[in-house]
Structure 1
């Protein structure tokens, strides 16, 4: 039986060196095959202690709601990955996220911390699938909130919290499951690449549906 792990990450928000941001939260929903399609069977959430910038910025807390106290009490990234892998289990699984950036952050931080990559397998970009199903090309990606709206869903929970974002993404995954073909791959076989944020939408007025859309306004605030 296959397992589908729909996950989301939250990161430290930095004015500079954005691509050296630390993962500070992992949230995921586990689904398996049911008679009428994938069904949810469990959820996972952990904060993660930041490694590079141990004191998180006010921008990070404003954007995610995650506090310094929460990350100070959290497991380190290697320990968080161990917990996550134990929760995923040993069955055949697919790791699914909204957009490619979470995958890239996972790969980069695992490489930086000498954590093997073989567990990062069968990674699929649900945002790309959904965007194409709506008739858009990859350059006109649809934000999560907009996708939920077009699917007739109301966002459940708080945006930019890993478990809530993962749970809402899982609703879209179930909706489009019979229209997509999941890829099989392994991050250990991927070439080195740099992280690029791709959550922006080219649709006019979509900033409110863009997970990172209001970062620019945060960065313009005086310190």
Structure 2
């Protein structure tokens, strides 16, 4: 059993190509960290957010600003990467934990950046799960719908998403948390049954959903996943 489940997300900015030697080994730097701490009972107990000043690009590039809304001035008083990692480690605390992120890009980036900047990777974060892969498997989703963006997955399963807030670290971590909690509590079983009920077979006999579950089920998922009162847990994840 895990003491806590840590759901996190990072936003990144590319290294300036003028730093040629750096760019060969480290393409991006983390500029924002966001995380949610969930208890073994599936309850949100704390949140973490941190802005980080990059070392190898003096400004946030335009397409990152358009994507995230983060501007260069927002990072002026940001912490160093080393300070941010230490703060995150202290915030996580002791005990047995599992980390979740939507895709493995955050884990890859954290390890690469720690290695390049000669910072020890937090050993407490070794148990890391790519929920973009795991969640569709748990829910029985196959075919082209199996690998979705976080925004699509949230909308598909009935989680309300504010499009103006996506691609910010803490907000994306919170949306991912709305998908993780039903798995921890066992409530995902109801969701999976609804998926099976409203799925159809195409010509190749591949199971696909006929439309958004939030539309089909009148937002029943949104009501379920925001109710954290369930005590049944899936032992594999608890």
> TM-score normalised to the size of structure 1?
0.72
Q: Any residues of structure 2 matched to 1:1-12 within 5 Å, and which?
A: 2-12=3-13
1:146 lines up with 2:152 in the alignment: yes
Task: Note if contact 1:128-1:138 (Cα within 8 Å) is conserved in structure 2.
Answer: no
Compare 9-18 and 148-157 and name the one that shifted more. Answer: 9-18
* Distance in 1, Cα, partners of 2:96 & 2:70: 32
- Residue 22 of structure 1 aligns to a residue whose secondary structure is strand
* Distance in 2, Cα, partners of 1:120 & 1:113: 18
Pick the structure with greater CA Rg. 2
Which of 108, 120, 126 is the matching residue for 1:121? 126
1:83 lines up with 2:90 in the alignment: no
* Distance in 2, Cα, partners of 1:60 & 1:95: 25
* Distance in 1, Cα, partners of 2:84 & 2:77: 12
* Distance in 2, Cα, partners of 1:26 & 1:120: 14
**Number of residue pairs matched?**
177
Q: Note the aligned Cα RMSD (angstroms).
A: 2.4
Q: Any residues of structure 2 matched to 1:49-128 within 5 Å, and which?
A: 49-117=53-121, 118-128=123-133
- State the 4+ residue runs in structure 1 displaced beyond 6 angstroms: none
Name the residue aligned to 2:169.
162
Residues 28 and 96 (structure 1), Cα distance of their counterparts in 2 relative to 1, 3 Å cut = same
CA shift at 1:120, angstroms? 2.8
Return 5+ residue gaps in structure 2 as ranges: 18-22, 190-238
Return 5+ residue gaps in structure 1 as ranges: 181-223
* Distance in 1, Cα, partners of 2:87 & 2:167: 22
* Distance in 1, Cα, partners of 2:144 & 2:158: 22
* Distance in 1, Cα, partners of 2:16 & 2:152: 26
